[in-house]
Amino acid sequence: KNQVEQSPQSLIILEGKNCTLQCNYTVSPFSNLRWYKQDTGRGPVSLTIMTFSENTKSNGRYTATLDADTKQSSLHITASQLSDSASYICVVSDRGSTLGRLYFGRGTQLTVWP
Protein backbone atom coordinates (compact mmCIF):
# COMPACT_ATOMS: atom_id res chain seq x y z
CA LYS A 1 0.00 0.00 0.00
CA ASN A 2 1.42 3.38 -0.99
CA GLN A 3 1.85 5.60 2.01
CA VAL A 4 3.50 8.77 3.21
CA GLU A 5 4.40 9.10 6.88
CA GLN A 6 5.60 12.33 8.46
CA SER A 7 7.28 12.97 11.78
CA PRO A 8 7.06 14.55 14.18
CA GLN A 9 3.33 15.23 14.19
CA SER A 10 3.98 18.57 15.88
CA LEU A 11 7.03 20.57 16.88
CA ILE A 12 7.63 23.70 18.93
CA ILE A 13 10.88 25.60 18.60
CA LEU A 14 12.20 29.00 19.60
CA GLU A 15 12.74 31.71 17.04
CA GLY A 16 16.20 31.53 15.51
CA LYS A 17 16.62 27.80 16.06
CA ASN A 18 16.93 25.17 13.34
CA CYS A 19 14.68 22.15 12.88
CA THR A 20 14.30 19.13 10.64
CA LEU A 21 11.07 17.51 9.52
CA GLN A 22 10.95 13.93 8.25
CA CYS A 23 9.00 12.19 5.52
CA ASN A 24 9.10 8.44 4.83
CA TYR A 25 7.26 6.98 1.89
CA THR A 26 6.50 3.64 0.31
CA VAL A 27 5.15 5.01 -2.97
CA SER A 28 6.32 3.04 -5.98
CA PRO A 29 7.18 3.65 -8.74
CA PHE A 30 8.44 7.00 -7.48
CA SER A 31 8.22 10.12 -9.61
CA ASN A 32 8.88 13.08 -7.33
CA LEU A 33 8.38 14.46 -3.84
CA ARG A 34 7.17 17.92 -2.92
CA TRP A 35 7.12 19.81 0.34
CA TYR A 36 4.22 22.20 0.83
CA LYS A 37 3.76 24.87 3.48
CA GLN A 38 0.23 25.49 4.70
CA ASP A 39 -0.40 28.53 6.86
CA THR A 40 -3.40 28.37 9.17
CA GLY A 41 -6.58 29.05 7.24
CA ARG A 42 -4.78 29.10 3.88
CA GLY A 43 -4.16 26.66 1.05
CA PRO A 44 -0.83 24.79 0.77
CA VAL A 45 1.98 26.38 -1.23
CA SER A 46 4.79 24.40 -2.83
CA LEU A 47 8.25 24.95 -1.30
CA THR A 48 10.37 22.57 -3.30
CA ILE A 49 10.29 19.51 -5.55
CA MET A 50 12.72 16.59 -5.40
CA THR A 51 13.12 14.17 -8.30
CA PHE A 52 14.75 10.76 -8.22
CA SER A 53 18.20 12.04 -9.17
CA GLU A 54 18.31 14.93 -6.70
CA ASN A 55 19.78 14.63 -3.23
CA THR A 56 19.57 18.18 -1.92
CA LYS A 57 17.76 21.32 -2.92
CA SER A 58 17.57 24.67 -1.16
CA ASN A 59 14.99 27.42 -1.25
CA GLY A 60 16.17 30.23 0.98
CA ARG A 61 16.20 28.99 4.56
CA TYR A 62 14.56 25.72 3.52
CA THR A 63 16.71 22.75 2.46
CA ALA A 64 15.15 19.51 1.32
CA THR A 65 16.99 16.21 1.02
CA LEU A 66 16.00 12.97 -0.63
CA ASP A 67 17.37 9.45 -0.21
CA ALA A 68 15.62 7.42 -2.89
CA ASP A 69 17.21 4.19 -1.65
CA THR A 70 15.76 4.41 1.84
CA LYS A 71 12.70 6.34 0.62
CA GLN A 72 13.21 9.17 3.04
CA SER A 73 13.11 12.93 2.71
CA SER A 74 13.77 15.70 5.16
CA LEU A 75 13.05 19.41 5.25
CA HIS A 76 15.53 21.47 7.22
CA ILE A 77 14.61 24.99 8.30
CA THR A 78 17.46 27.26 9.28
CA ALA A 79 17.22 30.25 11.61
CA SER A 80 13.48 29.86 12.11
CA GLN A 81 11.18 32.86 12.05
CA LEU A 82 7.72 33.38 13.50
CA SER A 83 6.33 33.26 9.96
CA ASP A 84 7.58 29.66 9.65
CA SER A 85 4.75 28.58 11.96
CA ALA A 86 2.63 26.41 9.68
CA SER A 87 1.87 22.85 8.69
CA TYR A 88 4.45 21.27 6.37
CA ILE A 89 3.04 18.60 4.10
CA CYS A 90 5.02 15.98 2.19
CA VAL A 91 3.43 14.88 -1.11
CA VAL A 92 4.76 12.02 -3.22
CA SER A 93 3.83 11.47 -6.85
CA ASP A 94 3.99 8.12 -8.55
CA ARG A 95 4.58 7.43 -12.23
CA GLY A 96 2.44 4.34 -12.42
CA SER A 97 0.16 5.99 -14.93
CA THR A 98 0.34 8.82 -17.42
CA LEU A 99 -1.86 10.92 -15.19
CA GLY A 100 0.19 10.44 -12.01
CA ARG A 101 -1.23 10.11 -8.54
CA LEU A 102 -0.45 12.09 -5.41
CA TYR A 103 -0.01 10.68 -1.92
CA PHE A 104 -0.26 13.14 0.96
CA GLY A 105 1.25 12.96 4.40
CA ARG A 106 -0.67 14.29 7.39
CA GLY A 107 1.78 17.11 7.87
CA THR A 108 4.01 18.36 10.68
CA GLN A 109 2.58 21.28 12.62
CA LEU A 110 5.47 23.64 13.38
CA THR A 111 5.11 26.39 15.95
CA VAL A 112 7.86 28.97 16.34
CA TRP A 113 7.81 30.89 19.63
CA PRO A 114 9.46 34.27 20.14
The answer to whether the Cα torsion of 4, 39, 42, 62 is positive or negative is: negative
Q: Which of 43, 69, 83, 114 binds another protein (CB under 8 A)?
A: 43
The reply on whether position 75 binds another protein by CB under 8 A is no
Given 19, 21, 73, 105, the residue binding another protein (CB under 8 A): 105
Residue closer to another protein, measured from CB, 14 or 53:
53
Q: Which is nearer to another protein, 13 or 49 (CB)?
A: 49
The dihedral sign for the CA sequence 10, 69, 66, 20? positive
Q: Which stretches of the chain bind another protein, using CB under 8 A?
A: 4, 9, 31-32, 34, 41-46, 49, 89, 91-95, 98-100, 102, 104-107, 109
